[in-house]
A and B are shown apart, each in its own frame.
Chain A
């Protein structure tokens, strides 16, 4: 279409589109046929497709194509008639003809006429099989084919003559020619020349008919549309989206306008339209996979391996632009897996695996992205060889390599020209091209991660955006200019200020940042874009955008962070296309043009491209360390004594305008997210009205919110906290040393209670008598040392005998040693085993603890979580900050359990 469009017949164009589709289907069908050689339906299907191609070729006057298709069809005819067994050798031959057809079709597409070429060798091979003189007599299923071979020499010429003489034949005629060869094909065909066609074999004819009818009805429901038309439509919709955004922005500024209602409608319609048009661009990822079964099949033949290709989620849809771009990388990787991943059958058996290797492709949606997994159960990446290669290529010294973790070493295969294959086969060299694969995937804003265990296999995880046209982006400001960063690359946002401990440090002028236990290289966006020198870390607070490209993490310093916005990516003008740092530009809702930053370009410009092998595996260690720490929000009140509250309890931080504070029945309220939120000054030292804006800590559970007004929010810190409980002070759990200063740790429960009397109503009202609790044994399981430290003294004061454990696993171990408890209090979010799993274990049939009441502690619970918790065996659900309810619930649950136990005992007694 592209080249020959002007002089190419419309019919040929149509034929090409159709044939290309059929050929794709043929490849797939043929592989399936090889696996199920007796599938009659498959054979008929393939036969029909070949037949259609041949028929159309004759009609259009394409002799080369016609001849090849015809001879291949002959062979298929014998399969269909059960005359010839489907063997790998024959399938290879049929594939060979498919390839030839493709080759001719490609030439046709380019020039508008059939390319020159000699097919006689292929035709001879096909004919030999057709006539049964390929020396593979053993494959003949019926003895009837033997006489056919004797007459074969004579048969060739008349057949050829027939085709030369009659270039245009009706499909029916073809059918009969090929349909009757079981007894003596030659005389039959000659008769054919003069006599009107005998009625087609009913089975074949009927089959054909049925397929046509079915195809017809399907075709009516779908319509071929030129891609350009769709692209144009997409562009128009993008414009519409932008205009809509602009209108909505104007609307926001104007209250009470008559445009509001129609604009809302327009908004909905445009959103739906956008979705609809996006859908037209969506194609199942299976389209990119359709070639793979054939590739794997050919590979396993060539290499003498046995490989099963499993494809899951082929119906997962993604934008065709992206589909086109990942097709080649995917093919390459699957080839790699087959060639270098999966071992030879003998080696597999030696390694205790099944003879047949498995490659699995799995595609699925995950939060606006598509994840594609390519897994093989082969030998994995050979670490020793990679190490040698790293040293040999001078990428690192032997000492450095020795200190590297396995996964760091594995990442080296993404480097240019890095192949560990002993010999480069015709198929692929693992490593050769992996750098290209990575580049291609990153080009479309995706990332690739590798996991491999030597001897067990490898998994590649590819994450790509659903579409390139519309992306979610974070709007930031640097040097007075705004920029958009695709959300896909943004891992987290950190605010750093010189005053706090979260600050930017420099080494010889180069900024770094301690992100948990990792040193994050920093790049100043302002400096990188020449928007003026960076102010250094000494004034004010700045934002760090933690971006991740593959496994490489870096921080981007920006001045301000605005909102996230859905933006329509437009390519940049030709005159600035060389700037790698931008991936496009767009128009924001307020009508201004904004440049879209390309995180890859930034990483490259910052010299990070080669640092992609930066160790990603420190995470495990980090988690270990983090477990010891608690994130605390530090704030100040009027008396300047620092206060802290566990960050996990705070829902949000807000800044309210004091003029918006309303008073209702003597309480301060503010309209917040469509609800009235009670506001409470932290204590008498906080003046609610001494400045136009006040910071507020928002606490929320599933139904209510409350705001705690403070004087200043200081920082968020991660510390190992040891709380010393103060028994009497109201609103304070105790004090701890945080950042070298004595800091009060706030009891949020106290404030919530005074803001809203009903808050804890549903958790059970009054505490039961304390006397019943004394000496009771409580097991407290919580991974956070902070809460363990905070709750233990509380429970002790209330008279309980408390045992604390860090992990449910420890608890289960303790169960085995014979310990018993009256009640178990457990956190929900814990590493290794969460609270739900723990409860399930405890409630197991043979568990000694199966009747011990369990109470769940959680920071943010949804109704769903609560239901789930009750399902798996928790008796109660309590918010972490609510210590009074915890105490009352404990005693309540104990009493309930006691009476239940008593009932059971008495019931047992009467029997």
Chain B
């Protein structure tokens, strides 16, 4: 962690991302934003809330708002989770959010040389919640902009 932190400081030569998969697309969340990774949780529905809000859950005594990232991306709901559903807990403006995603992968250290910030051709809904794209060897990794994603929901 401390190595990653110092790298971060050194003009961002490389950055660490937690990779996640949603509907076969690989995404990255800056590792420093991640607080926790959870398995399937009991979620209390919040009636009348926007579709992107799956509900709220109790994480060690704190109330965490669960966000259905699929809904944010305009994707259909996952039919069956088989108890395998996972969430990534992030903190934003002193509040905790649990991003419900399909799968959590590894932590990857990525170089800015592979980073592309121009995503203007992307679907508008996606553009609103994504920062940019990293070119990996075999696929493209989309960086999820968590504050923007939450801002979109708030609207």
Contact = CB atoms under 8 A, between A and B. Distances in A.
Contact of A574 (B42, B48, B63, B95): B95
13 contacts: A239-B61, A242-B61, A481-B45, A575-B65, A575-B153, A586-B63, A587-B58, A591-B58, A593-B44, A593-B57, A593-B58, A593-B63, A595-B46
B56 interface: yes
A482 B154 CA distance: 24
Given A573-B95, A575-B150, A593-B56, A587 B48 contact: no
Interface string A591-627: 1111100000000000000000000000000000000
Name the residue among B46, B47, B53, B67 with the largest chain A CB count within 10 angstroms: B47
Interface of A: 239, 242-243, 479, 481-482, 529-531, 570, 573-576, 579, 581-582, 585-587, 591-595
A787 to B, nearest CB: 47
Given A481-B47, A531-B47, A581-B48, A576 B53 contact: yes
Contacts of B55: 593
A775 B42 CA distance: 75
A589 B154 CA distance: 30
Contact of A243 (B57, B61, B67, B97): B61
Contact of B56 (A242, A482, A530, A573): A573
Contact of A587 (B53, B61, B65, B95): B61
Interface string B34-51: 000000001011111110
A529 B61 CA distance: 26
B6 interface: no
B71 to A, nearest CB: 12
A574 B44 contact: no
Interface in B84-104: 93, 95, 97
A529 B48 CA distance: 6
Given A579-B48, A594-B44, A595-B46, A573 B65 contact: yes
Given A573-B56, A574-B154, A575-B153, A587 B63 contact: yes
Interface residues of B, number: 23
A592 B58 contact: yes
A482 B93 CA distance: 28
Contacts of B65: 573, 575-576
Contacts of A585: 56, 63
Given A531-B47, A579-B48, A592 B42 contact: yes
Contacts of A586: 63
Chain A interface SS verdict (over half): mixed
Interface of B: 42, 44-50, 53, 55-58, 61, 63, 65, 67, 93, 95, 97, 150, 153-154
B63 A576 contact: no
A587 B44 CA distance: 11
A603 to B, nearest CB: 16
B47 A573 contact: no
Contacts of A570: 63
A530 B93 CA distance: 30
Nearest to B52: A575
Given A591-B58, A593-B63, A576 B44 contact: no
Given A587-B58, A587-B61, A593-B63, A574 B93 contact: yes
A265 to B, nearest CB: 21
Nearest to A526: B47
Contact of B47 (A239, A529, A575, A592): A529
B97 to A, nearest CB: 8
Name the residue among A243, A482, A593 with the largest chain B CB count within 10 angstroms: A593
A573 B94 CA distance: 10
Name the residue among B50, B56, B65, B93 with the largest chain A CB count within 10 angstroms: B56
Nearest to B94: A574
Contacts of A579: 46, 48-49
Nearest first, the 3 A-B pairs at minimum CB distance are A529-B47, A573-B65, A593-B44
Given A575-B65, A592-B58, A530 B48 contact: yes
Contact of A595 (B44, B58, B67): B44
B42 A575 contact: no
A140 to B, nearest CB: 63
B49 A576 contact: yes
A239 B59 CA distance: 12
Contacts of A573: 56, 63, 65, 95, 97
Contacts of A595: 44, 46-47, 56
A570 B64 CA distance: 11
Contacts of A243: 61
A811 B65 CA distance: 66
Nearest to A246: B61
A530 B47 contact: yes
A575 B71 CA distance: 15
Contacts of A239: 61
B42 to A, nearest CB: 7
Contacts of B61: 239, 242-243, 587
A529 B95 CA distance: 25
Nearest to A478: B47
Contacts of B42: 592
Nearest to A243: B61
A371 to B, nearest CB: 33
A534 to B, nearest CB: 14
A479 B67 CA distance: 22
Nearest to A479: B47
B49 to A, nearest CB: 5
Contacts of B93: 574
Contacts of B44: 481-482, 592-595
Contacts of B56: 573, 585, 593, 595
Nearest to A586: B63
A130 B91 CA distance: 63
A232 to B, nearest CB: 13
A775 to B, nearest CB: 71
Contacts of B50: 575-576
B38 to A, nearest CB: 14
Contacts of A594: 44
A592 B93 CA distance: 24
Contacts of A479: 47
A579 B50 CA distance: 10
A583 to B, nearest CB: 13
B61 to A, nearest CB: 5
Given A529-B47, A579-B46, A592-B44, 10 more contacts: A481-B45, A574-B93, A574-B150, A581-B47, A585-B63, A592-B58, A593-B63, A594-B44, A595-B46, A595-B56
A581 B49 CA distance: 11
Contacts of B95: 573-574
A359 to B, nearest CB: 44
A575 B63 contact: no
Nearest to A573: B65
B149 to A, nearest CB: 10
Contacts of B63: 570, 573, 585-587, 593
A625 to B, nearest CB: 39
A655 to B, nearest CB: 28
A864 to B, nearest CB: 43
A574 B150 CA distance: 9
B1 to A, nearest CB: 26
Nearest to A588: B58
Contacts of A529: 47-48
A570 B53 CA distance: 18
A907 B49 CA distance: 86
A482 B95 CA distance: 23
Contacts of B45: 481
Contacts of B53: 575-576
A243 B59 CA distance: 12
Nearest to B92: A574
Nearest to A482: B44
A285 to B, nearest CB: 32
A570 B61 CA distance: 11
A529 B47 CA distance: 5
Nearest to A525: B47
Contacts of B150: 574-575
